[in-house]
Structure 1
Amino acid sequence: MARIQEAAKAADWPAVRELLEARPESEDRTELLWAVSEISGVETWIPQAIEAEPGSALPLLVAGIRYISWGWEARTGARAQHVAREQFEVFHDRLRIAEKWLYEVAEREPGWASPWCGLQVTGRGLEVGQTAARRRFEATVRRDPYHLRAHQQHLQQICAKWGGSHEEMHAFARRSMFGAPAGSMLGQLVAIAHLEHWLDLDAGADATYIRGPKVTASLREAAERCVLHPDFVRRPGWVQVYNTFAMAFSLAGDKAMARECFEATDGSVTKFPWYYLNGSDPVAAYREHRSAAGR
């Protein structure tokens, strides 16, 4: 991740392209694309790469994913009622540009999953509706059935804060986990669903929910099928999966399981999900809960 982000900061398109092309067009490449999208300034130099390589879909894909992140930067992660109209206008303008580029990539490279994964995010931001959103998800997983980010994005689409429901979200998480081979990272979805449910509740009710015996049992079941399963492989994204289970077990009061997950991270912190606890300093939230778990 660090290498491609440094190349993006230096506006070194040949290096960015080489690193992307070295990864298979699947979840592996998707993770690198989103790493590039986090770098401010990519939007200033990627148009030159598009112009220089008119027949290539890759610079269009980078531009589309960057415009998604750039759009969310304008919107911020605040709830809709706290986002100004001007912010929404910029947000939607950038997402529409991203959609145009991503659809062009999908047309040029019909086997690629990455543009469809990006279109899941633009669809949520542009409020295309649940039917269209599901079609975009299905288009992604037809190309890569166990694509973790695609499943994460669809879970967000159907959670309560985006017009779905807790019941639909939990059912999707469990169905995805058991529909994948044991050891798949899709077990993370169960932990995310519990965190989203906890986040949606008022103070007091949230702790009662996440510390309930049914939630603890559900988290243990998911961890045993995911990160604790002997077939679990540390593919790109594995650190975030462990961080998610660490936070969920910590909030649930299951110190033994939280400690095991914290040990596996070896001090590596991912922004998600810790920014749910401390948006300005996810690392501080991680360290606080790691210490409470006895690490």
Structure 2
Amino acid sequence: MATTRDAAPAAKFFDPLAQIPGGAGLRAARDAGDPAAALAIVRGLTAHDDVVAALWGIAGDASAEDHALFTAAVEAADDGTPLARTLRALRYITVGWAIRSGARAEHVSANQFEQFHDWLRRAERVLFDVCAEHPGCVPAWEARITTARGLELGHGEARRRYDRLAALDPQVFAAQRVYLQQVLPKWSGSWEDASRFVAECADGAAPGALGPALVVDLALERRVDGEKTIPPEMIDRVRGVAASTVLHPHHVRTAATATAHANFALFFSFADLPAEAWPHFEALGDTPVEGIWGYYEPGAERLYRTSRDAAAKVAAKAATRTGVRA
């Protein structure tokens, strides 16, 4: 079911679909209001991180004027398959979270919370049925970690859902990132809980696997929370993690790779190490994903461009000194 658009939507700087195989087709289908066509492309993806990123990207922006039309289109595209039903739930989550906003709880009104929880309960009902009927559906379990957090079902329930997913695939970086949010202080967790989970994701990770890169999320979350100085030992740790994950020759690229690169670039930029940020900016090319840069809206794009330009200049100077083209 396609919605009617008077004009093509303006391209966004941070594109969640750009780094996914078939991303251009996914974007075209989503922007045409044709989630059924987008789902057809998703069914050709194999990596769980690609599928999860694609579904969230298709779920789209719930702040646009025609968001109700697209929600109806997603509902009409639900053919009863697990992916279509999961997409419907993700759309409900997206709408609910847009109403809640990204503000801390004390700045969210009672009416916002009521609507937010209503949309999340709708999503939860859909996801419960999907997971009951198709317990191997990784994207549905990933979404249920988010609904557990939004509905305040507690750390135990969120952990149960994460463990069910990890039993299916322990290397889904999107799931690791979303569960980390659950155990951060801003969601009634603690830095100790978060650090333990980060260590757990790093322990036993195969060379090139993304789990250890979760430490970058943790370091950036601490900065957002007010810890402005990055300790030298953390810089050394992140430097080593970059080498063992996204820069490792055995790393297998997925949509999650781009998210990790974005966060490494942000970390090294904040650490005033533009030369070390550059390989990550370079890997993203002209189609960056948001990662934690989104925390700095409305100035995230400007911050990204300024940081990338600074890193590019340092890399160019180094290349000139060594006689190697940047």
TM-score where L is the length of structure 1: 0.91
Q: Give the drift of 1:24.
A: 2.9
Q: Which amino acid aligns with 1:115?
A: A
Q: Give the drift of 1:2.
A: 3.3
Separation in 1 of the partners of 2:83 and 2:247? 36
Partner of 2:17: none
Partner of 1:35: 57
Alignment of 1:86-235 (within 5 A): 86-201=111-226, 206-208=227-229, 210=230, 212-235=231-254
From 44, 51, 63, the counterpart of 1:22: 44
Separation in 2 of the partners of 1:17 and 1:200? 37
CA RMSD of aligned residues (A): 1.7
Of the structure 1 ranges 63-72 and 257-266, higher mean CA displacement relative to structure 2 is found in 257-266
Q: Give the drift of 1:58.
A: 3.0
Equivalent pairs, count: 285
Higher relative contact order (CA 8 A, sep 6+): 2
Q: Give the drift of 1:67.
A: 0.8
Q: Give the drift of 1:25.
A: 7.2
For the residue of structure 1 that corresponds to 2:153, the secondary structure is: coil
Q: Give the drift of 1:69.
A: 1.1
Q: Give the drift of 1:125.
A: 0.5
Separation in 2 of the partners of 1:267 and 1:47? 33
Separation in 1 of the partners of 2:168 and 2:101? 31
Inter-CA distance 293–107: structure 2 relative to 1 (3 Å threshold): same
Q: Which amino acid aligns with 2:41?
A: L
Separation in 2 of the partners of 1:224 and 1:232? 10
Separation in 2 of the partners of 1:181 and 1:252? 27
Q: Give the drift of 1:294.
A: 4.2
Inter-CA distance 198–15: structure 2 relative to 1 (3 Å threshold): same
**Is this contact kept in 2: 1:25–1:114, CA < 8 A?**
no
Where do 5+ consecutive residues of structure 2 fail to align? Answer: 1-22, 62-66, 314-326
From 10, 18, 24, the counterpart of 2:32: 10
Provide Cα deviations, 1:132-169, integer angstroms capped at 9, x if missing partner.
11001111111111011110011111111111111221
Inter-CA distance 37–85: structure 2 relative to 1 (3 Å threshold): same
Partner of 2:90: 65
Partner of 1:79: 104
Counterpart check, 1:241 vs 2:260: yes
Of the structure 1 ranges 247-256 and 124-133, higher mean CA displacement relative to structure 2 is found in 247-256
Q: Which amino acid aligns with 2:242?
A: A
Separation in 2 of the partners of 1:159 and 1:44? 34
Where do 5+ consecutive residues of structure 1 fail to align? Answer: none
Separation in 1 of the partners of 2:47 and 2:84? 14
Structure 1 stretches of 4+ with a deviation exceeding 6 A read: none
Of the structure 1 ranges 242-251 and 104-113, higher mean CA displacement relative to structure 2 is found in 104-113
Inter-CA distance 261–8: structure 2 relative to 1 (3 Å threshold): closer
**Is this contact kept in 2: 1:9–1:42, CA < 8 A?**
no
Separation in 2 of the partners of 1:268 and 1:174? 31
TM-score where L is the length of structure 2: 0.82
